[in-house]
Each structure stands twice: as C-alpha cells, then as structure tokens.
Amino acid sequence: MVRINSNTPTPRWGEAEEFTSLICQFKRPLTKAHQPKIHYLFSSPHGYVPLNDFTSQTPMRLTRRGADPPHGPLSYGQYFKGITDVISSDRYRPLIVATAKHLAKDISLSDIEEILVYTEKHGSDYHPARIEVVVNELRAAFVMNVAATTRGKARLCREFEVLECLNSKYDFPFLPRTYFQGEAFHPSMVMFLADWFEGYHEFHPSLDHKDNSPKLVLWDTPGNPCRLSRSQVWQIYHQAASILTLYYDIETFEQIFPWHHAAGDFVVKPREKSIDVKLVTARQYAPMLERSEGVPVQEALLFFLLNLSIRMRLDRLDGVGDVVWADDDCVDATLEGFVEGLRTNDYKGAIDTGFVNGFLQYLASLAKEDLSNRLHAIIDACDQAAPDMPVIMDHLKGHISKLHFALQNLRDS
C-alpha cells in the first residue's frame, strides 16, 4: 500500500494549483500492458553496480549513531522496493506528471523507456536516491529523499512543506522544485520527489599534503576531488551568502536555517569562467528574533548577518571529519554576497528605497564591542555541546576583528 500526497496545503502562501492543472492535461489513456524497466544501482567504491542478491539483503546505515527505526533494520532491497511502490502508484501517474513538468512536454506511460534508481548517500535523517526517467532520448533527473526513522520522517515532511512554500513565495531558481510526497509501508518509509541538480557537486575542505592545511575541493570525481582555486572559493561563499539573503524576509525576520556546509546543503557547478551555486535543502523557515517583541528591522537583519558570518566559515574535513574554520577571505566574500542579496531585493521592490544604504552606514558605525556583544548573544543561544562550539570559540576574537574591519568598507558598497 502506498499513500501519495502531491499537493500539501500551504496555508501561509496559498495552495499549489499547478499540480492539479498538470494532471488534467493528460487525456491519453495509459496502456496497462506497458511497464517501464526499472534498474537499481548500488553505490560501491568502484562506482555504481547493479543490485544483486547479496546487496539486496545488506542492511542500510540509517543514522550516524546506528539506531534502527521501530520496525528494525532496513535492507537495500526494502529501500528500493519502497521507492518503486511510491513511484509506480496509480500507474505511475505522479511520476509522469513530474517528468512532463521537468521536460516541459506532454508524455504518457508508454513514452517512458526505463527508470534508473541510484543509491547516493546516507545522512543522519535522509537517504536520498537519484532517479533518472528515460523518455526517448531525453532524461529527467530527480532526487527521492527517503526517511525511515521517526525523527527523519518528521523532518522530511516539514522540509517538503517549507520547500513548497518558499518556491511559491519566491521566484528564485536556487532551491529544488518539489513534485509529490508519498509513503511506503512494510516497512514504513516517507519520501518526496524533487529536482536533482545535474552536474552540481558537494565541496568540502580537504588537507593539502604539501602544507598540511585544509583547502576547499569539489567532490566531482569519487576518490579524486578537484581542488578549487581561490577565486572559485570566493565565488562559492559569495553566492551562498547572497542566496540566503535573498530568502530572508525583512518584514517577518524569517530565514532558511539551519543549514550546514558539512551536510552538503550547498552544491556547485563549475562553468568556464564562473561557479554556479544551488541550495538543495530548506529544513526550516522561521525567525531568529520575534518581531512581536518590538525588535527593530535593522537589529534583526544585523543578527542574521552576524550568524551568517560565523556559519559560513564552518565545515568538516572531507565532509565527515574534524570541524574546520575557513580563512578570512570567507568574511569578505560573505559580506559582499550579503550586500548583493540586499541590493537585488531592493531592485525587486522587496525593501523600502534607501533602506540598504542606511543599513550599510549603520554597520560601518558599529564599534567592535557592539559586534562582540551580539555575537556572544548568538553563541550563548546555541547548543553548547555542539561540535562546532570549540572551533567557534577558538576563532571568535579574530573573527570579530576581521568582521569589524570589513564592515568599515561597506559604506560605499
């Protein structure tokens, strides 16, 4: 049994009607005899290999702590079957609708030649699979985010709603489109289908054996990551800061948070002379400070910037190792990206005319002690047992000095 929810209510910003209208476009009857071929590919140290009897019975690692869901361990065979149950429900109609929207063309089930399902990675809550739907000579690439634990399911359902709302509220291309949410049973798994950013990869610091210092690398080739240039690294931090600022609501103080470089939340695609950055997730969208408490707009935006300046510098070696701190270039790139985001929203009319210039003057007027007090307030509100905290505290004094110096030059940005 499978339950599909392809139109989660979004009471704050209105219901999504596009899915329903797309369904109505499909007038051709489905041919019951046609069943697309489905291939399951298992990630291994040697690349993707077809699922076999042995790997089908292999238990999946569901959490970093090794805890199993209430129904016990989940095998890869059960994982693939759950995904298949969801995408094939109602004679594949939700998948057909998603593929038609992705390819911007009308298709029927008989047009789908094959479906390839790849295991990709395992996080603390999600177990995403990449799904490729082959239609004639075209391929539509999706991600199916899957959760099997109680905590993972709750977070996945919330994220689906957040992505739906943000894509309805903002006309930006940085977050994946969502298509439908479904649930498989025996064992129970909750999942949702969204766009896969083709050609985009995670980036993480890795030790450079020449000087034993961490350098940012792009994980575009398994086992052989590509080291990024200083200019490329600057562009990544700049664009990531700009993206988060674009989604910041200056009226309600709502923002996308938490996000983590170590979790691979941002992905990048190198181009000939530039870098393109996307954000693959939005776990929550809520204010850090409550507007009802009379907090001024400038103060809330300052707290957003200060928190952004710290979080942008945190990552883990190779994504899973020790927590590391980015160098001072990250501060300059983050600030410029932040200002770019504000300027873009100013141009779009989302911010009152003159606000940005006034805010930049306000930032330049802040004393180092002002920054220190607010940054300590942010840190005091964090989980003190978090693994990031010792690294933040070790670098906080230098970060405050660098940030204060950089803010003096924002007046004329």
Confidence of residue 233 (pLDDT cuts 50, 70, 90): very high
The full set of domain ranges for the chain reads 2-195, 203-407
Distances (CA, A) of 41 to 38, 151, 186, 220, 305: 10, 27, 22, 19, 42
pLDDT of 335 over the 80 cut: yes
CA distance 382 to 375: 11
For residue 72, the model assigns a pLDDT of 66
Nearest to 9 by CA among 151, 153, 160, 156: 160
pLDDT tens digits, 41-72: 988 777 788 999 988 998 887 655 545 555 56
pLDDT exceeds cutoff 50 at 9: no
Q: Angle, to 10 degrees, between the axis of helix 297-311 and the axis of helix 355-365?
A: 70
Question: Sheet of 226-227: strands edge to edge?
Answer: 203-208, 213-218, 226-227
Average pLDDT, the chain: 88
pLDDT of residue 33: 58
Q: What pLDDT digit, counting tens, does each position of 239-275 carry? A: 999 999 999 999 999 999 999 999 999 999 998 888 9
Residue in the block written with tokens 């200060």: 306
- 26 pLDDT band (50/70/90 cuts)? very low
CB 99 within 8 A of CB 36: no
Residue 43 CB neighbours (<10 A) = 18
Residue 22, pLDDT above cutoff 80: no
Domain 2-195 has CATH 3.40.50.850: no
Residue 387: C-alpha distances to residues 43, 322, 390 (Å): 29, 9, 7
